[in-house]
Structure 1
């Protein structure tokens, strides 16, 4: 919203606000100001906050200008004709145009009253009179007429003097003005230019998005290539670890085979030693028994010798 776009944003907000019934004006204005403040555009927020709620007569005049645009143009042209007649001192033309002025002012003020009543806000007699004053001022002063046609008045207008061909109402608004309406041919040409520019802008935006997508795709591809290289390094390291593990496993299996063979040999030795132990133990018992028998026999012979002597 900031910068060069601020007047446009202010004009857009003003268009919305001055088309609302006065009772809704303040709440909607504060909502827009808060949104501008949150967006970081404090100057725009302050300018929105400064927008004044329209009086009943100003609101009715705005409603008339918005709802009866096809009648406002001819009405304001009458003001220019009146100023020209006054400058030319054309009395007959002034009388005719003045009568037309009174008729149009009365007709348009009645329309403003009906529009306000249809919108649920009937006008007081004083407000109707202020609408008439606004219409007279719009005829007297081109700037006042332009402000009235824009439909963004905050208070009724009043002409300080009769029509003289010079501005008589003073400043009427500090809001950004809309550009003047153009002839159909100019408007059509502008519309074509705007369409062409919009197409070029879309193409620029599409090209920009495509370029951005291409850059992002290139970055993604490089990132994926980096991931692939890192994954290849991890794979190579895993292959080395596997080969080393296989070598260690083979060495361990060889050690297990040797250990199993050693175990079998030890078991064979154990079995042979057990058999030798059993045989030796049996032989020792037999020898001990024979030794006992021999000792008993020797003792018996010895006693027999002693008895025979």
Structure 2
């Protein structure tokens, strides 16, 4: 048993059951003598609902997810090559495949609007970023993903390929200003997204430790009550033992006196 194997099992478990399942896996590893693995298992983070839904897509619908990630790979290549025709075709295909995968994600029901948005953002991140695609494909997300950088988009295909660039001449300043404004807006969004993720991670960590605290407190109370019951039984047993000891002393004394009278 190794960490990858255990993580593969744990991230199939619904978030509500994750903490207990993780504790059981850590205990099993410790009982098997692998203390390091037990500690590593205990460090695995509980997934959010949206992350778990994406993980479930990777397990239950690998073909559809592979289609989406494949479109993303080709879209990134077309963007790199500035192939307007390919970008136009792939952008349309991206919308179709994304909609299909998003429907699959919502089939199980019970997904809040916020969680559904996080699922969509994670899928978008996987399309435009190769690293995010690898994480989604692995099916072991603990948190939803987002991408705030410059992503492949249909904008480059709005002008015909034969049309000369509008970034020259008098319009160059306007284009540069727009580019600067866009970069600043993306930087602000990246900072805000980073702060939001940090806040979300802190809240998730607190919730997880609060759940663990509740579980450990309950276990402590149960064991303390059991010890108290045993101590009460032990006190009664000691009292009965003392009574029998006193009877034994009296009996021994009387037996000795009776033996003396015989002599």
TM-score by length of structure 1 reads 0.48
Secondary structure of 1:123's counterpart equals: coil
Q: CA deviation at 1:60?
A: 0.6
Aligned CA RMSD, in angstroms, stands at 2.0
Is the counterpart of residue 78 in structure 1 residue 71 in structure 2?
Answer: yes
Counterpart among 111, 118, 123 of residue 123 in structure 1: 111
Residue of structure 2 in register with 1:13 after alignment: 6
Q: CA deviation at 1:162?
A: 3.3
Structure 2 distance, partners of 1:161, 1:96, is 22
Q: Report how many aligned residue pairs link the two structures.
A: 155
8 A Cα contact 1:58 1:154, kept in partner: yes
Structure 2 distance, partners of 1:151, 1:21, is 13
Q: CA deviation at 1:99?
A: 2.0
Structure 1 distance, partners of 2:135, 2:28, is 27
Residue of structure 1 in register with 2:127 after alignment: 139
Structure 1 distance, partners of 2:93, 2:63, is 17
Residue of structure 1 in register with 2:138 after alignment: 150
Secondary structure of 1:79's counterpart equals: helix
Q: CA deviation at 1:92?
A: 2.3
Long gaps (5+) in structure 1: 2-8, 171-309
TM-score by length of structure 2 reads 0.56
* C-alpha spacing 1:19/1:56, structure 2 compared with 1 (3 Å): same
Moved over 3 A (4+): none
Structure 2 distance, partners of 1:38, 1:13, is 15
Counterpart among 52, 63, 72 of residue 59 in structure 1: 52
Is the counterpart of residue 31 in structure 1 residue 30 in structure 2?
Answer: no
Q: Which has the higher contact order (CA 8 A, sep 6+)?
A: 2
8 A Cα contact 2:65 2:101, kept in partner: no
Structure 2 distance, partners of 1:70, 1:84, is 21
Long gaps (5+) in structure 2: 153-189, 195-263
Instruction: Summarize deviations over 1:156-204 as a string: whole Å, max 9, x none.
Output: 111122336xxx9x9xxxxxxxxxxxxxxxxxxxxxxxxxxxxxxxxxx
Instruction: Summarize deviations over 1:106-141 as a string: whole Å, max 9, x none.
Output: 2211210113x2xxxx10011111111111111122
Structure 1 distance, partners of 2:140, 2:70, is 20
Secondary structure of 2:107's counterpart equals: helix
Structure 2 distance, partners of 1:95, 1:82, is 9
